[in-house]
Amino acid sequence: MRVVILGCGRVGSELCKMLCADGHEVTIIDWSAAAFKRLGEGFTGQMIVGAGIDSEVLERAGIREADAFISCTNGDNTNIMAALIAREEFHVPHVVIRIYDPLRTAIYRDTGLNTICPTLLGATHIYQMIQPGEALSSHLVDEGTHTMLEITPPAQYVGQKIRMLPLPDDALLAGFIRAGSASTPLPDTRLEAQDRLIVLVRTDVADGVRIALRATDADSG
């Protein structure tokens, strides 16, 4: 896969190294040549000094042959403009942008751009971590449309089958950990106190699942 990255900051440089390590062809653009020091001496990709909203710079980076374009500078306006150029002018199949402003994230996601908002992801994750009586941890997946929950069974469900947990009908049981060993969960598996269930649910119902689990845990006490 050929990937063009705009912005050689902490995120851009790390992503660049990951892609190169997996054997992808990577070109990274930054307005400052000094930023490329983050890539290390072993970097095998191409480095372009210039502005990512300049079509000529993007052409030099091989944007016409790119399978993906990632814009992750520290400026929302630059990221948005570069992403629109990549999509509308050069028709890059996969365009991903980082946006710090949550309001803009929703707006540009509605236009079909793949957006990542570290502000929203960080705030949501912290909020989830400090909820009182939290019996599970979680993180957002699939651009925030789904949430992966790591569940410890409430006391009243210990000894009962997994299918008895108050989970949505479309929840996906993705993993099951017992005594340090992971396996595929089965609906009829009986729960033990230290079990951990990995469950994928829609983000819009995730809070309801947390509330239901906390309520049943409190009722059992």
> What's the pTM value of the predicted model, to 2 decimals?
0.63
Within this chain, do residues 95 and 27 fall inside the same structural domain, yes or no? yes
**pLDDT reported for residue 135:** 46
Number of domains in the chain: 2
Range of the domain at 51: 2-116
- Whether 73 and 173 map to the same domain: the answer is no
- CATH number reported for the structural domain that contains residue 69 in this entry: 3.40.50.720
How far is residue 169's CA from residue 160's CA, in Å, rounded to a whole number?
18
CATH of the domain at 212: 3.30.70.1450
Contact between residue 39 and residue 47 where contact means Cβ atoms under 8 Å apart = yes
pLDDT of residue 84: 94
Shared-domain flag, residues 7 and 100: yes
Q: Choose one of 81, 116, 151: the last residue of a domain.
A: 116
pLDDT at 216: 46
Q: Same structural domain for residues 13 and 87?
A: yes
Report the pLDDT value the prediction gives residue 9, as an integer from 0 to 100.
93
Last residue of a domain, one of 116, 136, 151: 116
Identify whether the C-beta of residue 70 lies closer than 8 Å to the C-beta of residue 6: yes
| Residue 32 region by backbone torsions, left for phi larger than 0, else alpha for psi between -120 and 50, else beta | beta
Using CA atoms, how far apart are residues 195 and 203, in angstroms rounded to an integer? 23
For residues 141 and 184, membership in a common domain is answered with yes
116, amino acid identity: I
Residue 106 CA to chain centroid, in angstroms? Answer: 15
44 and 29 in a common domain: yes
Residues 76 and 42 placed together within one structural domain of the fold: yes
133 and 164 share a domain? yes
What's the pLDDT score for residue 131?
A: 55
> Given the structure tokens 């372009």, which residue do they identify?
48
If the chain, 221 residues long, is cut into consecutive pieces of 10 residues, what is the mean pLDDT of each piece? Answer: 95 91 94 94 91 94 96 93 95 92 78 79 64 52 68 85 81 78 76 83 78 54 45
Read off the tokens for 35.
Answer: 């930023």
Is 179 in the same domain as 95? no
- Do 53 and 11 sit in the same domain of this protein? yes
Segment 110-114 long-range contacts (CB within 8 Å, at least 24 positions apart): 112/87, 113/80, 113/83, 113/84, 113/87, 114/143
- Shared domain for 130 and 215, answered yes or no, is yes
Residues 147 and 172 in one domain: yes
Q: Are 163 and 187 in contact (CB under 8 A)?
A: yes
